[in-house]
Amino acid sequence: MNIKYSQSGKSIWSMLLFLIIFSSFITGSETVPSRKIVVFKKSFDRVSSQDFLLKNSSALKIKSLKLINGTVVHMSHQAERVLKNQDEVLRIDDDFVIQTAQIQSATKGKKIPDQPQQEFLWNMLLIGAELAWPQMLGTSVRVAVLDTGVDLDHPDLYENIKGHINIIKPKKSGDDDSGHGTHVAGIVAAADNAIGVIGVGPGIDLYAVKVLDKKGRGYLSDLIDALDWCIDNDIQIINMSLGSLEDNSSFHEAVKNAYQAGIILIAAAGNYGQQGGIISYPARYSETIAVSSVDQFGNLDPFSSFGNEIDITAPGVEVRSTYKDGYYALMSGTSMSAPHVTGTAALILCTIPDSQFDLNHNGIWEPSEILMKLKLSAQSLGLPVEQQGAGLVRADEAIR
């Protein structure tokens, strides 16, 4: 069938086409919501008042961030401009993505019930972990692994897991659907129980805090929320085998607040060694202990980030540890090096008598003093300081 248009009809259709294109442009730039962190001034701290202001600005609340007096929202660029002009608003930051610091896919080992016989592996020998155990006083040290979760039923971990939370989906458990967090947790504190592997501190209390999904990705706001949870639950050491090349004030403020609460913060440097070596955040912050990665021969992992912010180094190449669903796996990256330092820091705290402990501060030592002990006891590998920091972490020397 043929359809004929009059000149006026053509003009109407041209106008409609223009309006469609124009409205699509406006939608793409103005009204499509993006994920933001709205931070309020200290004097404006009542949540109900914050919610009212956000609602009137057409911002859709996701959740509050008590640690930085902020709120995560979905909002359009137009709504953002409105909020920025409100006297009560201090700043608006991007809620960007963070991810794991792993560089290779896991090579899985045996699964239950056919458990492998326990091995004391090269990475533990290299840092002298076993030599440190006789000095432990049995003091309970609370370590949180902020990651993809932890396999809560893993036979090499379940005895040491004392708590868990899913920050992403609070109604679900902190179980691991990726494997990364379980691998990290095993390096810190796999049990001494005749099967599988042994962690740096086999008697350490583990807390699984899920902030990343099964792909190893999550939002900055969930990490901030997790840091707040750690403060509220008297966590003494936090392992963050994750990071981002992006930075903003909300990220740094949250890390500062956790540090000022007396928590020891240990972070993977990142795996950008072949892209200029840039160190990711939060490892670049002075409040964290930044860890690079070396192999069993003491050579810097070519993938490991490096730079002046590196504090110390640890094994991170083809490290065998626990994995999801009861498996064991080989994995590489600064994700694996950071938990060696986390376990060693926990061993230091294990040498403090209970009578000297203050849950708000880590006994007689502040985080800066723990860092100093780690650095003074580290073993130089002959690498440039921007690659190894103070040197290889040594658990046996650190607890002396």
* Contact between residue 388 and residue 292 where contact means Cβ atoms under 8 Å apart: yes
* Contact between residue 216 and residue 355 where contact means Cβ atoms under 8 Å apart: no
Cα–Cα dist 346/287, whole Å: 17
Three-class DSSP category at 36: strand
Q: Which of 95, 147, 205, 222 is catalytic?
A: 147
Please give the order of strands across the beta sheet that includes 328-331.
107-108, 328-331, 319-322
Q: Which of 178, 335, 337, 377 is catalytic?
A: 335
What lies within 8 Å, CB to CB, of 395 at 6+ separation is 127, 128, 129, 131, 132, 200, 343, 344, 347
Catalytic site includes residue 178: no
Question: DSSP assignment, residue 281?
Answer: B
Cα–Cα dist 202/212, whole Å: 25
Cα–Cα dist 343/364, whole Å: 18
Rg (CA), the chain: 24
Catalytic site includes residue 147: yes
In the block, tokens 């008042």 appear at 49
The residues that bridge with 242 in the sheet, in sequence order, are 100
Please give the order of strands across the beta sheet that includes 34-40.
60-65, 70-75, 34-40, 89-94
Q: Of 266, 273, 148, nearest to 217 (Cα)?
A: 148
Cα–Cα dist 269/261, whole Å: 23
- 25-56 burial by CB neighbour count: b if 16+ within 10 A, else e? eeeeeeeeeebbbbbbeeeeeeeeebeebbee
Q: Which of 93, 177, 178, 180 is catalytic?
A: 180
Catalytic site includes residue 164: no
Residue 139, judged by CB atoms within 10 A of its CB (0-12, 13-18, 19+), counts as middle
- 260-286 burial by CB neighbour count: b if 16+ within 10 A, else e? ebbbbbbbbbbbbbeeebebbbbbbbe
Cα–Cα dist 339/314, whole Å: 9
Residues with a known catalytic role: 147, 180, 335
